[in-house]
Amino acid sequence: MISIIVVDDQAMVRGALAALLNLEDDISVVGQAASGAEALDLLAHLSRGGTSVDVALLDVEMPELDGIGTARRITAEFPDTASLIVTTFGRPGYVQRALAAGALGFIVKDTPVERLAAAIRQVAEGERVVDPQLAVDSMTRGTSPLTERETDVLRAALDGATIEDIAAALHLSTGTVRNHVSSAMTKTKARTRSEAAHIARESGWL
């Protein structure tokens, strides 16, 4: 029996996935969590109780700690638990970041439940599973061209923050922020920092 947890901040989606997967003869949902932080607490709780978890199904965009960050923590703290990203957001950059964080799989939520169950079985065996179209898109687009600081600046700009706001939040000078913004705009071929942030987000680089 493959034991899994389902982690998604949308209760309806989380519940539906758990219910469907519990219908599989060889899969047992042993817990659910609404965020990455809750998932880590749940894994620790189950571990203390003697319950091992083979696979953690993780959504990408969640509060507190996103799916990629959660996969990184799980890899470090619960090495016997494999991470499988299941998300609505099929962005190529997410695939690269997820795999780099230690996740073994990345598939989209509209995948038929039969294929999802098969992916869980593969990941539980230590195999890597990536949605074919996302894999092609990921290779076509390549890795993120942004530096770590440019990524930080664009992430801070997503909500329409001013240069001064970004500088204060990241403890940088306004001149340094402007330089990073300018460089990021060039790399994303954007006309404004807001557009650059949007392009980077849609590419899965943030």
Query: Domain containing 42 — which CATH number?
Result: 3.40.50.2300
Domain of residue 81: give its range. 2-141
Whether 174 and 130 share a structural domain: no
Higher pLDDT, 31 or 196: 31
Query: Domain containing 153 — which CATH number?
Result: 1.10.10.10
State the total domains in the chain.
2
Distance of alpha carbon 178 from alpha carbon 193, whole angstroms: 10
Task: Output the pTM of the full model.
Answer: 0.69
CB atoms within 10 A of CB 109: 15
Q: Summarize pLDDT for 97-112 with one digit per residue, the tens.
A: 888 899 999 988 888 8
Which DSSP letter does residue 23 get? T
Distance of alpha carbon 25 from alpha carbon 30, whole angstroms: 14
Q: Which of 203, 148, 206, 205 is nearest to 180 (CA)?
A: 148
Question: What mean pLDDT value characterizes the chain?
Answer: 89
Q: Summarize pLDDT for 1-32 with one digit per residue, the tens.
A: 999 999 999 999 999 999 999 999 999 999 99
